[in-house]
Amino acid sequence: MSSVYEYLLENTEEERNALLSIPFIQEGWRGNISLESYLAFLGQAFHHVKHTTPLLMACGSRVPFEKEWLRNAMAEYVEEEVGHQEWILSDIQHAGGDAQAVRHATPSLAVEAMIAYAYYVIERVNPIGFLGMVLVLEGTSIKVATEAAEAIKSSLGLGDECFSYLSSHGSLDISHMDFYKNLVNQIESEEDKVFLLHCAKNFFKLYGDVFRSLPLHKLSEI
């Protein structure tokens, strides 16, 4: 019998492959995106990453007492994630963008939709569903972030100071995923397991929409 984590991976393969096949991600992997596109990616990343800590705290507050293990896990995640949005603003500034303009900008509809769905799941349905968002964002970071950071850094001639978010998340999220595996494997309720899978599938699509909405300017075509 497969673990809950294996169940999630096996049943989201189609959605994961669809996300990773999005042109922006593919070209980013190759380092074939312009500075404008990279800055656009960072700008939208800021607007969803700034919600990570509030979402974790909201999730923890909604967990029933019989799932105290999940509340404790959310507290550990908060310690790891707090302030990461500021790394993104630093990267933007070092890469020649306007960090303060990004801070005060309105996020894309795709980002707003993903974040709104996360709060809806936590507040109105079942906080266990938020773990679907964690699977998508941290799992994608491991697969894409470090390699893309190196490729974009090389092609754009930027320094390490422009990639603190991508580079650190690629390595940080490897340890996070070990923590995540142990966390979801504690889920015993079939209802919780099915709902978590449902949410993970939706978050793959919603996160994909974030990348689909970004302006893709290929270096090879400039």
pLDDT for the residue numbered 78: 83
222 belongs to a structural domain: no
pLDDT for the residue numbered 144: 81
* Distance (Å, whole) CA 164 – CA 88: 7
* Distance (Å, whole) CA 94 – CA 182: 37
41 belongs to a structural domain: yes
For 10-16, which contacts have Cβ atoms below 8 Å and span 24 or more sequence positions?
11/197, 11/201, 12/135, 12/197, 12/200, 12/201, 12/204, 15/200, 15/201, 15/204, 15/205, 16/139, 16/204
Q: Please, which pLDDT band fits residue 221 given cuts at 50, 70 and 90?
A: confident
CB of 2 within 8 A of CB of 187? Answer: no
pLDDT(171) > 70: no
158 belongs to a structural domain: yes
Q: What CATH number corresponds to the domain at position 55?
A: 1.20.910.10
b/e map 27-53, b = 16+ CB within 10 Å: bbbbbbbbbebbbbbbbbbbbbbbbbb
pLDDT tens digits for 160-169?
A: 999 998 887 6
Q: Please, which pLDDT band fits residue 175 given cuts at 50, 70 and 90?
A: low
Structure tokens at 188: 């015993």
20 belongs to a structural domain: yes
pLDDT for the residue numbered 170: 54
Q: First CA to last CA across the chain, in angstroms?
A: 52
Q: Please, which pLDDT band fits residue 147 given cuts at 50, 70 and 90?
A: confident
Among residues of the chain, what percentage have pLDDT more than 90?
77
Q: What average pLDDT does this structure show over 47-68?
A: 94
Query: What is the identity of the amino acid at 13?
Result: E
pLDDT(121) > 80: yes
Print the SS3 string covering 123-136. Answer: HHHCHHHHHHHHHH
Which residues constitute the domain of residue 163?
A: 4-215
pLDDT(116) > 60: yes
53 belongs to a structural domain: yes
220 belongs to a structural domain: no
pTM above threshold 0.85: yes
Among residues of the chain, what percentage have pLDDT more than 70?
96
Q: What average pLDDT does this structure show over 152-171?
A: 87
Number of domains in the chain: 1
Task: Assign residue 83 a region (left: φ > 0; alpha: ψ between -120 and 50; beta: otherwise).
Answer: left
pLDDT for the residue numbered 1: 67
pLDDT tens digits for 201-215?
A: 999 999 999 999 999
197 belongs to a structural domain: yes
pLDDT tens digits for 58-112?
A: 999 999 999 999 999 999 888 777 778 999 999 999 999 999 999 999 999 999 9
130 belongs to a structural domain: yes
Query: What is the identity of the amino acid at 116?
Result: A
